[in-house]
Amino acid sequence: MLIEIGFEGGKKVTASFSGGLQMKTDQSVENGGAGAYPEPFACFLGSIGTCAGIYVLEFCNARRIPTDKISLTQGVSFAEDDQGKRRLAKVALTVNLPPEFPERYRKAIVKAAELCSVKKAIMHPPEFVVDYQVL
């Protein structure tokens, strides 16, 4: 997969995917941007919840369980590392179920959410390589 990253002006940065899809980011006003789009780190955090969400959605669809009253809540907490830098310490996901959700599937839907490939990538991080080329 190749993702092209470009600049729109100000602090706006866009990721362009094959097929014409784009993910636009900006910095908050406090960080010198216009606040027009989520910050890149917010997109990263959102990708965790939305990834778990697609697994929950597919779980329910496979069992013909309505999803109109189901949602996920994601909380994050930060801590200081040894150098005093703020780092992501915990991501907590909760699958919010209505009372009529079948009891026999309550633990299984949590297992489904845990299948999230974004979470798995974080738990088993890839190698990162940054280089340059002159065009």
49 with 113, same domain: the answer is yes
For every residue of 19-67, which 3-state class applies, written as one string? CCCEEEECCCHHHCCCCCCCCHHHHHHHHHHHHHHHHHHHHHHHCCCCC
7-64 pLDDT per residue, tens? 999 999 999 999 999 999 999 999 999 999 999 999 999 999 999 999 999 999 999 9
Confidence bin at 96 (pLDDT 50/70/90): very high
How many separate domains does the chain show?
2
23 with 45, same domain: the answer is no
Confidence bin at 125 (pLDDT 50/70/90): very high
Confidence bin at 107 (pLDDT 50/70/90): very high
- Tell me the torsion sign for CA atoms 8, 86, 90, 114: positive
Q: Which amino acid is at 56?
A: V
29 with 48, same domain: the answer is no
64 with 110, same domain: the answer is yes
Residue at 129 is within a domain? no
Residue 124 has a pLDDT of 96
- pTM above the 0.75 mark? yes
30 with 51, same domain: the answer is no
Residue 87 has a pLDDT of 95
Residue 40 has a pLDDT of 98
23 with 44, same domain: the answer is no
44 with 26, same domain: the answer is no
Share of the chain above pLDDT 70, in %: 100
Residue at 128 is within a domain? no
24 with 50, same domain: the answer is no
Please provide the average confidence, as pLDDT, over all residues in the chain: 97
Please give the residue range of the domain that contains residue 55.
40-123
Among 97, 98, 90, 125, smallest CA distance to 112 is for 97
Residue 78 has a pLDDT of 97
